Each structure stands twice: as structure tokens, then as C-alpha cells.
Amino acid sequence: MVTYNIACIPGDGIGPEVIAEGRKVLDAVSEAEGFEVNWVDYNFGAERYLREGTLVSEEELKELSNFKAIYFGAVGDPRVRPGILERGIILKLRWYFDQYVNLRPVRLLNGVSSALGSKTPAHINFVCVKENAEDMYSGLGSSVVRSAKASMVMSRSKYQVKFDVDASMIGGDESFAYELGVITRLGAERVIKYAFNYAQNNGLRRVASVDKANVMTNIYSIWRDAFESTAKMYPQIQTEELYVDAAAMLFVREPERFQVVVLPNLFGDILTDLGAAIQGGMGLAPSANINPEGTSMFEPIHGSAPPLAGKKVANPIAAILAGGMMLDHLGRREAYNSVARAVERVLVDGRVRTPDLGGSSTTSEVGDAVVKELLSRV
């Protein structure tokens, strides 16, 4: 029997609750389809940070590199200043493993109503391919508090930036802060090629690119040039280039226009949350952080949702579908299809739903219902 070793990081808030249901479903489908999942747990998150002051050590990162896949819940806790857990855990994992593709399906499932009202599953079914390592999330930024002059040196593994700032030139002895966006030609080309290959391998014929090259000309001209040169390698695929504000409007007005959308990091982060809204809510939106040659990580996009933690009402479907995407990445496409079909049958039936979808079911009741549907078709 084939065994897949998978690292599991439940994290904070509702993360442990939804990941538990995802594991329940993945264990069921693995047993039904004749393979095994060996879970290896890691306790990264707020509790360990508050107890030990530890986020993720270099030794733990090296250990995680032995896994092809990580199943991730969420991080974020009101007891910890925003950014510490997010940058110190999830962004650190993405950077360390160079998970340069963030894959986010935007699909309205049967049995779910869209915020767009008249739109049906036939209208909302596309995938966003977000660059995941550069742009405004490059990790290059700083703040200066009441200093007349500051010399800045900021670095991340692949680049270093140094410059001087004279506060007297921008309003005197005041506080200020900044983030630097960085796009490299290599970084843009590799994720754009991934998007075109995804379209080609899945029988899709349209790829749209999003940028803001008309205003942020330096950074996004490289992105646009990379898209245009890559498109020439795929003459059978139709392309269009959209500014981010126009793309946001079209996500709402004409979602059926899209099949594959490739986006730089910041705009992708924003627009994929809009995508979650039009597909029925954050509780239905899975994602994958992919390094095609290394360790990849799979997670729901909804975050830790501290007010819901422990109330047993969090929707586990995004986590379940993220687990399905993980199985697909590991070469188990039919297992992924089985999970996706079981989820959709539960939604169409409508009797088991968490409160965000208008029901009163608990998190575990949804997981149980998906397992029951899964096993009923074996």
C-alpha cells in the first residue's frame, strides 16, 4: 500500500477544528481508494509562541523539507500583535520552500447561492494563479519613529536594498513607514508559465493577466512584458491584460469571462477574497501554495477567525477541499474528485450546513456528512 507522509499544522483559532474534519475526510477517502496517509503534527502557532517565544526554527524548516505536502489550518490570535505569526510562520514557510504559486479556484458549487444573485455555477468557475513570493510581500519594509535621518538596510535571501531617508525633506521630525514591492523577471515568468501550462493541461483556452502598469509603471511593466512574451509560446490560448480595478469590476459583472487569471501577489490576495465572496463565502474557498519541484502547502483561505474558535460552527468545507487539492497534487486525482463530489452532494442536499450557509449544523456534523456521502458511493 502506498503511504503519503504529510506534515500537519492546525495552527490557531478555528484552524484545528476545520483541519480535524479535513483529516477525517482524507482518511476516509484514502481507506476507500487503497492508500494511506501518515500525519505528522507540528504545533506552530500562538500557544507555542506565547509559551516559548518560538515561531518556526531552522531545524524544523529542514525537517519539513522532507515532506512533499503540508496541510495547514490558520494562524492569527488577538493576544499576539498582527504580523508576528503571519510573517513568522506562514510567510516564512512560503518563502523558505519557494512556494511561488498560490492556486485559488473560484467555483460556485451546486447547492450554494452566490452574492451575485443571478449567477449560477455555469457562470462562476475559474482559477486564480497568484504569484506568491514577490511584489509587495517581498519582506522589504521598515518604519522610522521621530527620527530626523535614517539609513536603511533591508534584505531577504535573494536581494538587499539600502538607502538613506532625510525626514526633514518630508515634513520634519515625524514618523513614517514604507514597503517596497519587488518583481523580478524570473519570478514573473515562472508563475505566468505555470498559469499557461495549467490552462493547457486542463483544456482551458483563456488566460487573463492583472496589473497596474499604467500607474506603477516600473514594477508592473516587467510583469506585463513577461506575460506578453510568454503568451507567444501558447498561440492556441486567448489572452487579455486588465488593470486591477477593471478586473475587480469584471469579477462581479462578468465572472463567466474568466477561465485562468494570473496575478501579482498583492492584487491577487485582494481579488481572490472577492472571488471567495462571489463563490459563496470564505468557508468554501480552498487554496494551494505550490512549489512544483519541492514542498507545497494546502490551506483554507479564511484565516483563524478567533471569534468563532471553540464554538463548533466554523465551516470546514474550504479545509476539506484544500485537502482534496493536496491529494490531487500528490497524484491522486480520482481521490480529489471523490472528495469534491461528496462535498457538492452534501451542499445540494442542504440538510447539513453551518450557520454561514444558513444552517445550524456543527463543524463535525459537516465533516461526518461528507464522509457518509463519500463512502456511500464506494
CATH number, domain with residue 239: 3.40.50
Is residue 158 located within the same domain as residue 129? no
Residue 344 identity (one-letter amino acid)? E
Least-confidence region, from 101-105, 153-157, 188-192, 238-242:
153-157
Retrieve residue 287's grid coordinates: 487554496
For the chain, the domain total comes to 3
pLDDT category at 164 given cuts 50, 70, 90 is low
Q: What is the mean pLDDT of residues 275-301?
A: 97
**Which residue among 257, 278, 299 closes a domain?**
278
What's the rounded Cα separation, in Å, for the pair 310 and 324? 24
Residues 126, 229, single domain; the answer is: yes
329 in the same domain as 229: no
pLDDT in tens, 227-280: 999 999 999 999 999 999 999 999 999 999 999 999 999 999 999 999 999 999
**Residue 154 pLDDT class (50, 70, 90 cuts):** very low
Co-location of 120 and 257 in the same domain: yes
Residue 96 pLDDT greater than 90, yes or no: yes
Categorize the per-residue pLDDT at 1 as very low, low, confident or very high, splitting at 50, 70 and 90. confident
Do 255 and 341 belong to one domain?
Answer: no
Are residue 338 and residue 372 in the same domain, yes or no? yes
Is the domain of 257 the same as that of 319? no
Query: Could you tell me which residues are beta bridge partners of residue 209?
Result: 241, 262
Same domain, 123 and 84: no
Contacts of 138 (CB under 8 A, 6+ apart): 156, 159, 180, 181, 182
Q: Are 362 and 313 in contact (CB under 8 A)?
A: yes
The last residue of a domain, from among 244, 278, 312: 278
Looking at the structure, do residues 212 and 127 belong to the same domain, yes or no?
A: yes
Same domain, 189 and 161: no
Q: Are residues 145 and 274 in the same domain?
A: no
State the helix-helix crossing angle for 317-329 and 363-376, rounded to 10 degrees.
50
Q: Which residue, 221, 255, 278, sits at the end of a domain?
A: 278
Q: For 341-365, how does the pLDDT look when each residue is reduced to its tens digit (9 = 90+)?
A: 999 999 999 999 999 999 999 999 9
Q: What is the DSSP letter of 170?
A: G
What pLDDT is attached to residue 148? 46
> Domain range holding 122?
113-134+183-278
Confidence of residue 218 (pLDDT cuts 50, 70, 90): confident
Contacts 24+ apart (CB under 8 A), 44-47: 44/9, 44/11, 44/75, 44/89, 45/9, 45/10, 45/11, 45/12, 45/15, 45/75, 45/77, 45/85, 45/89, 46/12, 46/75, 46/76, 46/77, 46/79, 46/80, 46/85, 47/12
Share of the chain above pLDDT 90, in %: 83
| φ and ψ at residue 282, rounded to 5 degrees | -65, -30
Q: What is the pTM of this model?
A: 0.90
**Do residue 28 and residue 97 come from a single domain?**
yes
CATH number at residue 45: 3.40.718.10
